[in-house]
Chain A
Amino acid sequence: MKFLSIRDLTISFGGITAVNNVSLEVKEGEILSVIGPNGAGKTTLFNCISRLYTPDRGKITFQGQDLMKLKAHEISRLGIARTFQNIELFTNMTVIENILLGRHIFRRSGLLSQAVFYGKAWREEIEHRRKAEEVIDFLELQAHRNKRIGRLPYGVQKLVELGRALALEPRVLLMDEVSSGMSLEETQDLMIWIKDIREDLGVTIILVEHDMRLVMGVSDRIAVLDYGKNIAEGQPGEIQANQEVIKAYLGESNAVVGS
């Protein structure tokens, strides 16, 4: 059974075809980067997987489950988590509260039990806090635990989003331009974290990225989108030399330059 399979995915907005017949196979346990010029449809692809958009055509299956049959809030239950390009954190809550929300799908106590908050609800709350603290330790966010999101630097906010996604204990993690706005040091830390997430937690990671150093440094494979089409797929070395990719990024005249 294929792990995560995207077939002939197509979606248009008005007159613009954002994703055009994209097919992609994601292997379990790999780190796959999706790159391409701005507007190539990378985030749109993620939004289709998360079911925030409904594609016009095409199919996405995850471990045999057809994602098109599910609603947006049912995707996380399968173990697919994501971060957002423009940060969608809960700005009026603290860091730990945001991360605790990643535990939502594990909640077993009903509203009635919470109304009294004894027994099951109490124990569950402690359990979730313990798990959230593990995430905070992993991403070294201890100093910011009780701070409201609004007061945090941009790079830290991105990490909190990552932490919130990790709290879900996902099988697949979609990271949408997490490194944008990060300094060199932060990006280097991020590279280590990405590798750790795959090694220690066994999570399959799909990255949308612009930072080539990061992409070349962590990826097992790379897929390239341009104007909504999948124009190349392969190992980092192959992609670097690929003429189509160079043309897409740097224009026709540079296409001859290889290496």
Chain B
Amino acid sequence: MNIVDFRESYSQDFRIFDKFYKWGWIAFLVAGIVVLSQTSGDYGAYLLNLIFINIIAAVGLNILTGFTGLISLGHAAFMAIGAYTSSILTVKLGVPFWLALPASGALTGLIGFVVGLPSLRLTGIYLALATMAFGFVTDEIILQWQSLTRGADGFAAIPPIIFGMTFDSYKKYFFITFISLAILLFVAKNMTRGSFGRTLMAIRDSETAAETMGVNLGWYKALAFTVSAIYAGLAGSLYAHFILFVSVDNFTLLHSIGFIVMVVVGGLGSITGSVMGAIFITILPEIISFTKDYLPSAFKTASSLQAAVYGIILMLFVIYQPAGFYGLWVKIKNWWRTFPL
């Protein structure tokens, strides 16, 4: 068993997987997931789609909050912008899905940039509050701009049509979200393992030193917002054509908090962590409703039980396992590696 790894080239330091055979595991995993999506019935496919969309959103938020240290409580609002943009483009303007998706991402990214510009002057709690306010205001604007968004009635989106094929079932839609996820994860990993990721982390750890090293704080903070908004916008667009109905009720402060929970529980500053966190939080309601029957009847209300568990998990993780699932994963790996056998 290899306790010590010898690197023989610089590229080994920053490759995604340092050993080639690990890609084999990935291929295996991919095959498994594809099989699972087609064989686990409608509900399984629904869940997988939802997990992938949440991973995309969580990864975007992690780039902003985990890597750059900028707290955002308005992430769901960016998703809403993406979702509505995509729905309006496809339904009202007849734009095909494969165009509407990137367009939604781009528009949301632009708005993210504008929101990120003033973030230079706001730190910590002030930024959190500003983004929270942004969320409220955005939701309200969407509600009131009835001519565009149909307000409180919500907006019905249409299933994507690509190459003449209509993706109107969860099983078919799975491929869209899966491929999107693969691409976006690859991009996220690339951005964070190179100098961009280091620059963001530098801003998080010491703004003064980063500036001294030549980092233009305002620009990079705005860029971080842009990237996270693009991810949220894409997630929103994917969500819209998946659920086929968008309304602001799906993009409230509680949802923004939900994404924060995913990122924190998964591990701030780790892409892999966000994947784990998103998976866990998405299937948590299922776990809760499963175990609900074994609990005394005082806890019967599904929604409060779920919320209570959310809150407790969040607190426990921050206090006892601040590195999140990823930290746990690293600990287990190291324990395994150094096991005296």
Contacts and interface: CB of A to CB of B under 8 A. Distances in A.
Q: Are A and B physically bound partners?
A: yes
Interface of A: 50, 52, 72-77, 81-82, 84, 88-93, 96-97, 100-105, 107, 109, 111, 114-117, 121-122, 124-126, 128-130, 133, 164, 168
Interface string B298-340: 0000000000000000000000000000000000000000000
A202 B216 CA distance: 27
Contacts of A115: 187, 190-191
B190 A90 contact: no
Q: Which 7 A-B pairs have the closest CB atoms?
A: A90-B205, A88-B209, A76-B214, A117-B190, A105-B214, A129-B10, A72-B211
Given A116-B190, A128-B195, A88 B11 contact: no
Contact of A73 (B204, B214, B227): B214
Contacts of B212: 50, 52, 72-73, 75-76, 81-82, 88
Contacts of B209: 84, 88-90, 164
Given A91-B205, A93-B205, A101-B213, 7 more contacts: A52-B208, A90-B210, A101-B198, A105-B213, A111-B196, A116-B187, A126-B11
Interface of B: 10-11, 13-14, 187, 190-191, 193-196, 198-199, 201-202, 204-206, 208-217, 223, 227, 269
SS of A interface (majority):
helix
A172 B196 CA distance: 26
Contacts of A130: 10
Contacts of B215: 73, 104
Contacts of A89: 205-206, 209
A103 B187 contact: no
28 contacts: A72-B212, A73-B212, A73-B214, A73-B215, A75-B212, A75-B214, A76-B214, A88-B212, A89-B209, A90-B205, A91-B205, A91-B206, A92-B201, A92-B205, A97-B198, A101-B199, A101-B210, A104-B195, A104-B213, A104-B214, A104-B215, A114-B194, A116-B190, A121-B190, A124-B195, A125-B194, A125-B195, A126-B11
Nearest to B187: A115
Given A72-B212, A126-B11, A88 B195 contact: no
Q: Looking at B14, B204, B209, which has the most chain A CB atoms within 10 Å of its CB? A: B209
A111 B217 CA distance: 16
Contact of A90 (B206, B211, B216, B217): B206
Contact of B198 (A72, A100, A124, A168): A100
Contacts of B11: 122, 125-126
Contacts of A114: 190-191, 194-196
Contacts of A111: 191, 196, 223, 227
A91 B201 CA distance: 10
Nearest to A126: B10
A77 B269 CA distance: 28
Q: Looking at A52, A82, A92, which has the most chain B CB atoms within 10 Å of its CB? A: A92
Contacts of B201: 90, 92-93, 97
Contacts of B223: 111
Given A90-B202, A90-B205, A93-B205, A76 B213 contact: yes
B181 to A, nearest CB: 15
Contacts of A92: 201, 204-205, 269
Given A92-B204, A101-B202, A111-B223, A73 B211 contact: yes
